[in-house]
Structure 1
Amino acid sequence: MSNILRVELTDDQHGELHALLARRDLTRYSRQRAECIRLLDRGKAAPEVADLLECNVVTVRAAVHRFNGGGIGALPDAPRPGRPARVLGGVDRAALADLLDRSAAAGIAWTVPALRDWLRGQRGVEISADWLWELLLRDGFRWKQTRGSLRHQADPVLQQAAKAQLGDLRTYGWRRTRAGGI
């Protein structure tokens, strides 16, 4: 019994493999498995294929076993478990952008959880605050935390009077000396 892995593709499988490799949405590992099969079909040995693709021989052998178990259709990655990511549609994004633009003009600040609640109540869209934050950043929305200062609302005359009063309270020329006598 030989340990040499051999793959011989039929004409139909050649066509399927070519179509698979032509796909632009193929993940890195799916493409690597398909290339393993293509190179093995051309007569290369598993260590040669591993060297050409800069991977481990175990990876090449796993691709062959996967191919033997399910053909060309078994080479792409299996679907990921769990719920697919929520996508905020173009209409909902436009409504959100309009809301944010109108709010900015009116001086109204929104938090991401409040925006999420607005989307849920007004648009019927369920989305997490973290994912909404990411989408807003991708769309170019930036905001900064407001300061807790009221300086801009203070009366300049009163500010000058307070500065003058504080200036009179300062003691000039007084130096604190260290224990060393300096």
Structure 2
Amino acid sequence: VGNMHSAELIAPLVNLSVHSIYKIVERYNIDGASALVYKEKGGRRRFLLTIEEETVLFSSLENLASKGLIKTAHDIRKVIEEKVGQAVSDDYLWDLLHRNGWKKKMPRPHHPKRSLEDQADFKKNFPKIWSPLQ
């Protein structure tokens, strides 16, 4: 096949680049056959609580919330920081809540000078069909 190296022959057969073939051979030469075992990437490498610890923590948080002892994220932060033993960031707190299916729920804001009577009157007298002024 002319001047082709074996890595250039193997690369298209295994759908890898020539550089990747050289890196695999290099790892094999250094570590032996154990270097060819695929290690999955991703996952939780840095975490403060395991998934099991999080589920136990959130079940206790649900009990506290049902008793009315937890009303805000600040209350949740206190409980989590006691469990973890260090301060946690806002980002960690919201990711933790999201990961465990909790959502930020609060009533819609209203104007402090609103009038419920005026709102009810407006609803009763609002025209059903809107037509632009002519």
Which category describes the TM-score, using the shorter chain as reference length?
A: 0.5 to 0.7
Cα RMSD for the two superposed structures: 4.2
- Which protein is bigger by CA-based radius of gyration? 1
**Inter-partner Cα distance in structure 1 for 2:119 and 2:18:** 79
User: How far does residue 91 in structure 1 lie from its aligned partner after superposition?
Assistant: 4.4
Percent identity of the aligned residues? 21
Q: Secondary structure at the match of 1:134?
A: helix
TM-score normalised by L of structure 2 = 0.56
User: How far does residue 161 in structure 1 lie from its aligned partner after superposition?
Assistant: 5.9
Pick from 72, 77, 99 the counterpart of residue 110 of structure 1.
Answer: 72
- Corresponding residue number in structure 1 for 2:56: 94
**Inter-partner Cα distance in structure 2 for 1:3 and 1:161:** 86
**Inter-partner Cα distance in structure 2 for 1:133 and 1:76:** 36
TM-score normalised by L of structure 1 = 0.44
Closer, same or farther: CA 163–58 of 1 in aligned 2, 3 Å: closer
Pick from 148, 160, 173 the counterpart of residue 117 of structure 2.
Answer: 160
Alignment partner of 1:149 is 2:110: yes
- Number of equivalences: 117
Alignment partner of 1:62 is 2:23: yes
Higher relative contact order (CA 8 A, sep 6+): 1
Unaligned runs of 5+ in 2: 40-44, 122-133
Closer, same or farther: CA 46–124 of 1 in aligned 2, 3 Å: closer
Unaligned runs of 5+ in 1: 5-44, 79-83, 165-181
Alignment partner of 1:133 is 2:94: yes
